Amino acid sequence: VFFFLSRNSKESFTQNVQHFLNAQPTDCEREVWNQVNAVLQESESILSGLQAYKGAGQEIRDAIQNPNDMLLQERAWNSVCPLVIRLKKFYAFSLKLEEALQSLLESLTCPPYTPTQHLEREQALAKQFAEILHFTLRFDELKMRIPAIQNDFSYYRRTISRNRLNNMNLDIENEVNNEMANRMSLFYAEATPMLKTLSTATTNFVTENKTLPLENTTDCLSTMASVCKVMLETPEYTSRFNSEDTLLFCMRVMVGVIILYDHVHPNGAFNKSSKIDMKGCIKVLKDQPADNVEGLLNALKFTTKHLNDESTPKNIRTMLQ
């Protein structure tokens, strides 16, 4: 993907997209690729688990409305405990994802190559970077539609702290102790918890690698955003995507890298000096069916850091209202 846009031959487009989508690691990429691949292997089961999350709303309501009925208290508790274990699994996965992202950033920004050279040389790692962002946006879009998650977890915490049910399956505290519950609480309180995790990880990466020029990271992100935008706004390209999934993949990756850029660049992504054409990126999203992009536009509104800065041009703010 990172080299075909400069080529004139439209015929080679499909071939090059396929090359990127099926990129295999070279010997110098393999170690990091294997580490990240082990994490990505889990991503589909995490999404399936989240998609199947139904919550224990009815059981919790019954228990609250009938505080003296111990059978209903027990039923609610036994419904919530397995859900909390599942929520812990999602949270633990976010920590693995954070580690994987930092390994990829390290590989895609290190001297002596420029970000563009890295993206050309290490296509398999660039693809994994894109896959992490794609997963992240999918996870957060789903999570936003499941208010039961926070309700279930709040009930769990209230019940544990009241400790009225001390004879009922409290060995769950071995799985989710108070410190873990606090961390999970902060994670699920975020509208887009996975994006927040990656934004923090990227910011930490930049802070911890003081000798690495900031541009190495921001140029890597802005290059990926530009490539996605060009692919999405050019009919010759989009007409050759072999499924709507490829279109959604591009949109999610574009939004993901914009959000990361906005968190690590001191002036953010919306500023006139930004290397990302935000007006063009937002327009590309708005040209898509509303159902496909509502979650992505919300992510730009609520997960970015600089949108409401005075330096953000008014027309950009208006586009996202």
Residue 238 has what pLDDT?
75
43 neighbors 29 (Cβ within 8 angstroms): no
Of 240, 243, 238, give the one whose Cα is nearest residue 228: 238
- What does the pLDDT read at residue 177? 84
Its sign, for the CA torsion 190, 194, 195, 201, is positive
Burial 239-277 (b: 16+ CB within 10 A, else e): ebbeeeeeebbbbbbbbbbbbbbbbbbeebbbbeebbbb
Angle at 96 between CA 32 and CA 300, to 5 degrees: 100
Sorted by sequence, the CB contacts under 8 Å of residue 240 that are 6+ apart come out as 13, 14, 17
44 Cβ contact partners less than 8 Å away, ≥ 6 residues apart:
none
CA distance 195 to 192: 6
pTM over 0.75: yes
Q: Kindly state the helix (H) or strand (E) to which residue 288 belongs, with its residue range.
A: none
Kindly report, residue by residue over 27-63, the tens digit of the pLDDT: 999 999 999 999 999 999 999 999 999 999 999 999 9
Contact assessment for residue 97 and residue 194, using Cβ atoms and an 8 Å cutoff: yes
pLDDT at 164: 47
* pLDDT, position 310: 92
15 pLDDT above the threshold of 60: no
What average pLDDT score do residues 88-103 get?
97
Question: In this predicted structure, what is the pLDDT of residue 170?
Answer: 63
**What are the pLDDT digits (tens) for 126-179?**
999 999 999 999 999 999 999 999 999 999 999 887 764 555 556 777 788 888
Average pLDDT value over all residues in the chain: 88
Q: Where are the alpha helices (DSSP H) in 29-147?
A: 30-40, 43-51, 57-65, 70-109, 115-121, 123-144
- Give mean pLDDT, residues 184-209: 94
pLDDT of 88 higher than 50: yes
pLDDT tens column, 218-257:
999 999 999 889 888 888 777 777 677 888 999 999 999 9
Instruction: Sort 197 into a burial class: Cβ within 10 Å, 0-12 / 13-18 / 19+.
Output: buried
Contact 121, 115 (CB under 8 A): no
Q: Is the pLDDT of residue 101 over 80?
A: yes
Q: How far apart are CA 201 and CA 18, in angstroms?
A: 30
CB 77 within 8 A of CB 33: no
- Vertex 200, ends 144 and 42: CA angle to 5°? 60
Helix (H, G, I), strand (E, B) or coil at 102: helix
Q: Is the pLDDT of residue 5 over 70?
A: no
- Read off the pLDDT of residues 250-297 as tens digits, 9 standing for 90 and up: 999 999 999 999 999 999 999 999 999 999 999 999 999 888 899 899
Residue 115 confidence (pLDDT): 82
pLDDT of residue 275: 94
Q: How many CA atoms lie within 13 A of 293 on its CB side?
A: 20
Q: For residue 1, what pLDDT is reported?
A: 46
Per-residue confidence (pLDDT) for residue 16, from 0 to 100: 55
Residue 149's pLDDT is what?
Answer: 97
